[in-house]
Amino acid sequence: MRPTSIGHPNESAELFDQLVTKESDDMNAPLPHAVSGVDNLKLFQPARIGDIEVANRIVMAPLTRSRADEAKGDLPGSPMNVEYYRQRSNAGLIISEGTQVSPIGKGYMATPGIYSDAQVEGWKPITQAVHEAGSKIVAQIWHVGRITHPDLTGGVQPVAPSAVKPNVFAYTHNGKVEVPQPRALSIEEIAEVVQQFRRAAANAIRAGFDGVEIHGANGYLVDQFLRDGANKRTDQYGGSIENRARFALEVIDAVVAEIGAGRVGIRLSPVTPANDLSDSNPQAVFGHLIEELNKRGIAFIHFVEGATGGPRDVPGFDFAWARKTFKGSYIANNGYDREMAIEAVESGRADAVAFGRLFIANPDLVQRLIHNAALNTPNPKTFYTPGPVGYTDYPLRDTVSA
State the pLDDT at residue 393. Answer: 97
pLDDT tens column, 76-122: 999 999 999 999 999 999 999 999 999 999 999 999 999 999 999 99
Tell how strand 159-160 and strand 168-172 pair up.
Answer: unpaired
State the pLDDT at residue 402. Answer: 39
Largest CA distance in the chain: 62
CA 385 to chain centre: 20
- Render the burial of 256-285: b for 16+ CB within 10 Å, e for the rest: bebbbbbbbbbbbbbbbbbbbbebeebbeb
Mean per-residue pLDDT for 232-246?
99
Q: Which residues are catalytic?
A: 220
Within a domain: 172:
yes
C-alpha dist (Å) from residue 55 to 43, 86, 129: 10, 15, 16
333, 301 contact by CB (below 8 A): no
pLDDT tens column, 295-335: 999 999 999 998 888 878 898 999 999 999 999 999 999 99
Within a domain: 255:
yes
Mean pLDDT of the chain, nearest integer? 91
pLDDT tens column, 353-362: 999 999 999 9
Within a domain: 135:
yes
Lowest mean pLDDT among 25-34, 198-207, 372-381, 386-395: 25-34
Q: Which residue segment(s) compose the domain that 305 sits in?
A: 4-382
- Is the model's pLDDT at 22 over the cut of 80? no
Within a domain: 398:
no
State the pLDDT at residue 153. Answer: 98
- Predicted model pTM: 0.91
Mean per-residue pLDDT for 338-348?
98
**CATH value at residue 213:** 3.20.20.70
State the pLDDT at residue 37. Answer: 54
Within a domain: 234:
yes
Query: How far is it, in rounded angstroms, from Cα 121 to Cα 244?
Result: 35
Q: Which residue has the higher pLDDT, 25 or 278?
A: 278
Residue % of the chain over a pLDDT of 70: 90
Query: How far is it, in rounded angstroms, from Cα 326 to Cα 294?
Result: 6
AA letter at 324: K
**191: pLDDT confidence band, cut at 50, 70 and 90?**
very high
Within a domain: 397:
no
Within a domain: 328:
yes
AA letter at 128: Q
HEC string for the chain? CCCEECCCHHHHCCCCCCCCCCCCCCCCCCCCCCCCCHHHCHHHCCEEECCEEECCCEEECCCCCCCCEHHHCCECCCHHHHHHHHHCCCCCEEECCCEECCHHHCCCCCCCECCCHHHHHHHHHHHHHHHHCCCEEEEEEECCCCCCCCCCCCCCCCEECCCCCCCEEEEECCEEEECCCCEECCHHHHHHHHHHHHHHHHHHHHCCCCEEEEECCCCCHHHHHHCCCCCCCCCCCCCCHHHHCHHHHHHHHHHHHHHCHHHEEEEECCCCCHHHCCCCCHHHHHHHHHHHHHHHCCCEEEEECCCCCCCCCCCCCCHHHHHHHCCCEEEEECCCCHHHHHHHHHCCCCCEEEECHHHHHCCCHHHHHHCCCCCCCCCHHHCCCCCCCCCCCCCCCCCCCC
Count structural domains, the chain: 1
Within a domain: 96:
yes
pLDDT tens column, 210-237: 999 999 999 999 999 999 999 999 999 9
